[in-house]
Amino acid sequence: MTSISCPAMLRAVLAVLGCAACGRAAQSADARGDDAAAVADAAFEARVLDVVGDISPVHDPAIVATPGKYYLFSTGAGLLVHESSDLVRWRATGSVFAQKPAWITTTSASNPNELWAPDVRFFGGKYHLYYAASSFGSNVSCIGHATSASLDAASWEDHGAVICSAASDNWNAIDPAPVLDESGAPWLALGSFWGGLKLIQLDDSGARRGTSFVALATRANTAVEAAYIAHHGSFYYLFESVDFCCKGVDSTYKIMVGRSADIAGPYVDRDGVPLLAGGGTLVVTGDGRWKGPGHNAILHTTTGDYNVYHSYDARANGAPTLRVAELRWSSDGWPVSAGP
């Protein structure tokens, strides 16, 4: 979800949300991905859940399942938190931080408490929350890290920055996406526009381990962000949001995917095109009502998998809105999502 300069239409909403991404170049096309997705969709009966309650504004959602409850974290002042017992009825319950942690100096002066694109994983006996602190059109950015022993009545302890980018860097330290590999070791995917998506290693405390910096994906117009890595079967799947968010009904975001047997890649699409060469198989694109679906997370449950993302509702002046879609897997192991 997240980067480069945001145009006008959602300024009022995004001032509250802190949408963390938008574009600076022309929209790219991917007819090959559209065709592949259409063929795959015909074989499955996935559906979008009729979510209700506090479902807008929601931008850059991340989701965590606990026994009897789902927690949703999203972009906004202090990082917004929602809860649900059934994935359908959602209730806003506050924010992670009452105000931004004192170490942060990279947010906008006009909206200093806006934090972007949180994601959460459980490892080492704690929930680890990663989030971005930046401003529109800038890659002077940091990814922060906080932990809590529980999500019920959570008490988040902030640990400062995991990684930061400077104006001289050809990458952007936003859109963090923690992931555990098959051995249980933690990693962090990140990046938006500039040089594309990257991957770094974490240690068991959730801090950065070493200096490795793996390139995962890029596109010719650099409009790629919101990495999310999920494991299914024998592969890791790298989901990415391409083109432009944050333009309300004019948003062109869409969700693409590639896969690899190794968490560090190389990731290729269904036709074998590397994501580092601009490849990507289409997962979800917009329609007449739901524009610019993107910044997704994958939820695995005992009853099935779900694709959780935001989309801009043309019936509500382009307001960013929570979408929860069933996700199935094709016979050759590719994700097929309902939506948008």
**Residues found in the chain:** 340
Q: How far apart are the C-alpha atoms of 187 and 123, rounded to whole Å?
A: 11
User: 44 or 96: whose pLDDT is higher?
Assistant: 96
Q: What is the mean pLDDT of the chain?
A: 90
Selection from 309, 266, 318, 246 nearest residue 289 by Cα: 318
How does pLDDT run across 288-309, given as a tens digit for each residue?
999 999 999 999 999 899 999 9
- Examine the residue annotation and report whether 225 is marked as an active-site residue of this protein: yes
Which pair of tokens denotes residue 15? 């001032």
When pLDDT is averaged across residues 64-76 and rounded to a whole number, the result is 97
* Calpha distance 338→340 (Å, rounded): 7
Three-class secondary structure of residue 122 per DSSP: strand
pTM of the shown model: 0.88
Q: Give the pLDDT mean for 102-129.
A: 97
**Per-residue pLDDT, 36:** 44
Q: Would you place residue 21 in the very low, low, confident or very high pLDDT band (cuts 50, 70, 90)?
A: very low
* Catalytic member of 30, 60, 243, 326: 60
Cβ–Cβ < 8 Å for 320, 13: yes
Sketch out the chain's domains with CATH numbers: 11-337 (2.115.10.20)
Give the active site residue among 83, 114, 225, 305. Answer: 225
pLDDT at 83 over 70: yes
Residue 88's pLDDT band, with cuts at 50, 70 and 90, is: very high
Residue 258's SS3 state is strand
Range with lowest mean pLDDT among 28-32, 108-112, 264-268: 28-32
Whether cis (ω within 30° of 0) applies to the bond prior to 266 is: yes
Clarify whether 287 is annotated catalytic: no
What is the helix (H) or strand (E) element at residue 12, kind and residue range? helix 11-17
Long-range contacts of 123-127 (CB under 8 A, 24+ apart): 123/180, 123/184, 123/186, 123/204, 123/206, 124/204, 124/205, 124/206, 125/149, 126/206, 127/64, 127/151, 127/154
pLDDT value at residue 44: 55
Count Cα neighbours of 212 within 13 Å in the Cβ-side half-sphere: 13
Please count the other Cβ atoms lying within 10 Å of the Cβ belonging to residue 305: 18
CB distance 297 to 230 below 8 Å: no
The whole-number average pLDDT for the span 136-152 is: 97
pLDDT value at position 74?
Answer: 98
Per-residue pLDDT at 39 exceeds 50:
no
Span 48-68, average pLDDT: 97
Query: Is the per-residue pLDDT at 163 higher than 60?
Result: yes
Q: How far apart are CA 238 and CA 219, in angstroms?
A: 14
> Following CA atoms 311, 317, 319, 325 in sequence, which dihedral angle do they give, to the nearest 10 degrees?
-30
* Average pLDDT of the segment spanning 194-198: 98
Lowest mean pLDDT: which of 6-15, 107-116, 300-309? Answer: 6-15
SS3 of the chain: helix, strand, coil, percent, to 5? 10, 45, 50
